[in-house]
Structure 1
């Protein structure tokens, strides 16, 4: 990606979803974005609309998507949830 993502902002979005979201099988969902953590709690995940974002240790992340416009829309949504 041209611009790197800020893991701190990603974690803010995760916390916002966990605080305000509704329960799902894996975690919580809020405003179309589902948040959950791995079995060990070391990784957190955000997903929605065909995009999955894994946030791990040492400011690492991995973004999976099929189409760039879906990625862009998802990242805008995540950014709005981080505020």
Structure 2
């Protein structure tokens, strides 16, 4: 299954997690979502306990999850963060 998420949306949610989340070492935690980058900052990672998203250079991304329900729950969490924390 191909999952389509808007690159602008992903970057926006990542920034909201970074801005509003609790920082623990090099990771930001917000509403069950963890967000962090690789050492050079070019690759973003956004994940919960069941779904992992790697978003990188040239807006390429990869999801890792076992069931469609895991993906849909993850997507709902991202949309909720976007809605709950409004414009930054």
TM-score (norm 2): 0.85
1:1-83 equivalences under 5 Å are 1-2=1-2, 4-83=4-83
Alignment check: 8 A CA contact 1:35 1:47 kept: yes
The higher-RCO structure (CA 8 Å, 6+ apart) is 1
In structure 1, the gaps of 5 or more residues are none
**How far apart are 1:25 and its partner, in Å?**
3.5
Q: Which runs of 4+ in 1 moved over 3 A?
A: none
C-alpha distance after superposition, 1:52-71 (max 9, x if no partner): 00111112110000121011
- What SS does the aligned partner of 2:62 have? strand
Q: How many pairs are equivalent?
A: 83
Q: Quote the Cα distance in structure 1 between the aligned partners of 2:52 and 2:3.
A: 17
TM-score (norm 1): 0.89
Bigger shift: 10-19 or 22-31? 22-31
C-alpha distance after superposition, 1:5-55 (max 9, x if no partner): 101101111000000101223311001100000111100010002110011
